[in-house]
Copies of this chain bind each other. A is one copy, B any other.
C-alpha cells in the first residue's frame, strides 16, 4: 500500500509518499510545489495542476490523501488553499486514483493521538513513525507525510510504537528526544 499525501497550498503545496513496508512505514519521497505569487491565479493553478498530475503519474500511488480545507480566519487564503485542494483532487481523479480527504484535526488525531496537537508535535511524530534522521522540511512536507500516514491507518502504528517505547512516550505531549529514542 503506497499513499501520496498532499497538503494543498497555492504558494507552497507539500507532498509526501509513504509505503507500508513490513511492519512499518517508509517515506518514499517528499517535497513541495511552489508557484510564483507574481503569476496570475489561473496560471498558478495550471502550474500546480501540471506538477501534481506529473507527480501522480510518476509515483502511481494506490491512493491519494488530500487535506480537507475548512474555513480559516483569512477568507482569501482559505479560498486559494481550497482551489489548490480542488486541483489536487482533480489530478488524482484524472489518474483514476482513489482519493480520501482528511481534516487537519483528523490527521492530528490519527498521527499524534489528539486533534489539538501542535504542528511541531505532528512533525516529531512523522519523523519518529518514518524513522527519519531529521524532521521533514519545510513543514508542508511533514503535513503531507502525516496525511499519508493517516490514510495508512496510523492508529495501528501508534499502538505498535507504544509496544516498543511504552505507551506513555507516544502520547501527547510528545518530547522529541523520546520519540527519536523510540525509533532506535
Chain A interface (Cβ < 8 Å from any Cβ of B) = 40-43, 45-46, 49, 69-71, 75, 78-79, 82-87, 89-90, 92-94, 99, 101
Contacts and interface: CB of A to CB of B under 8 A. Distances in A.
A120 to B, nearest CB: 28
A150 B83 CA distance: 24
A124 to B, nearest CB: 30
28 contacts: A41-B89, A42-B89, A42-B90, A42-B93, A42-B99, A43-B93, A45-B86, A45-B89, A45-B90, A45-B93, A46-B90, A46-B93, A49-B94, A69-B79, A70-B75, A71-B71, A71-B75, A71-B78, A79-B79, A79-B82, A82-B83, A83-B86, A83-B89, A84-B86, A86-B86, A86-B87, A87-B87, A90-B90
Contacts of A79: 69, 71, 78-79, 82
A33 B12 CA distance: 31
Could you tell me the dominant secondary structure of chain A's interface residues?
A: helix
Given A49-B90, A71-B78, 6 more contacts: A40-B99, A45-B93, A49-B94, A69-B79, A83-B85, A83-B86
A30 B56 CA distance: 35
Contact of A90 (B69, B70, B75, B87): B87
Contacts of A40: 99
